Structure 1
Amino acid sequence: MKKFLMAALATTVMTAAVQASAQVSPEDQIKFRKAGYSFMSWNMGKIKAQVIDGSVEYNQQQILAAANAIAAIGSSGMGALYGPGTDRDVGSQTTRVKPELFENFPDVAQLSGDFVEAANNLVAQAESGDQAAIRTAFGRLGETCKSCHDKYRKD
């Protein structure tokens, strides 16, 4: 059943990518996905500062808002921004994506699904206010990021 769901998700990602490429130029696809990842990174930094580093006073509402932003972006259909022609620099937009990503959509779909699951768990833990649980959920989310970066992002 899980293999079937992952195959269906991969098909959906590929279909969305093809549809997006017809509506958004490859240059804009790269620009938009970079913006999404930058916004997620900024929100992850807010969580890290409060529950990992302790350099900023803990504020549950800020943590929850950041977690919700990360989950929303993760679930927004960013896979559609990996259309044809976005495997290389286009115009003024550079990309760090490896071409292998475009050859492995089922694996990418699995990694993306893992990220969304971890992001949703982070939201649930942020709602609880349990800082230890938030730290654990945040660590898991970071692991999902790393697993994709290790395979599909250029240094």
Structure 2
Amino acid sequence: MKKLLAGAVLGVATLSVATVSLAQMKTEDAIKFRQAGYAFMSWNMGKIKAQVVDGAVPYNKDQIVAAANVIAAVANSGMGALYPAGSDKGSGFHETKVKPEFFQNMPEVGKLAGNFNTAANELAAAAATGDQGAIKAAFGKVGESCKACHDQFRAK
């Protein structure tokens, strides 16, 4: 019981610190963090593409599982907090490509983000099976969900 209570207290304290940290985050830092998250996911998508889609690299189930789990973890990490109002302007590692329309259509953004999270989770589940056909299909759905958001809310 004491461990459970201590864990709950620690969890609340951690959440409180994280919330305060986000409230104090500079716009440039938010842009940098989200750019880093997307770059890391892209690198892991490339591993899956090379092994499962293109066949350019020999298939390694452990690498694919790890890559898919990273994509799902980042997708489910709460990246929405890295889009504070006004972050359609500014730089992180480079100038942001978020269109102002992103902030004017939050219901659509939420729908697209939900689709992306679902697709990322399905990719992780498919990767765990080792079925390359299922992985390839799930990978395609992740790509489609990325493209849907980019088409509407990312500048070229």
Query: Could you say whether these structures have the same fold, taking a TM-score greater than 0.5 normalized by the shorter chain as the test?
Result: yes
TM-score, reference length from structure 1: 0.84
TM-score, reference length from structure 2: 0.84
Tell me the residue number matched to 2:9: none
Q: Say which SS state the counterpart of residue 48 (structure 1) adopts.
A: helix
Tell me the residue number matched to 2:113: 112
> Once structures 1 and 2 are overlaid, which stretch shifts more, 63-72 or 86-95?
86-95
Q: Say which SS state the counterpart of residue 110 (structure 1) adopts.
A: helix
Task: Find the structure with the greater CA-based Rg.
Answer: 2
- Where does structure 2 lack aligned partners over 5 or more consecutive residues? 1-18
- Cα offset, 1:84, TM superposition: 1.8
Rounded Cα–Cα distance in structure 1 between residues aligned with 2:71 and 2:21: 22
- Cα offset, 1:19, TM superposition: 7.0
Q: For this pair of structures, how many residues does the alignment match? A: 138
Which residues in structure 2 correspond to 1:47-62 (within 5 Å)? 47-62=48-63
CA contact (8 A) 2:89 2:95 kept: yes
Tell me the residue number matched to 1:75: 76
- Where does structure 1 lack aligned partners over 5 or more consecutive residues? 1-17
Quickly say closer, same or farther: Cα 1:129–1:96, change in 2 above 3 A. same
Runs of 4 or more above 4 Å deviation: 18-21, 90-93
Tell me the residue number matched to 1:131: 132
Q: Name which structure has the greater RCO, CA cutoff 8 Å, separation 6+.
A: 1
Rounded Cα–Cα distance in structure 2 between residues aligned with 1:50 and 1:149: 25
CA contact (8 A) 2:31 2:92 kept: no
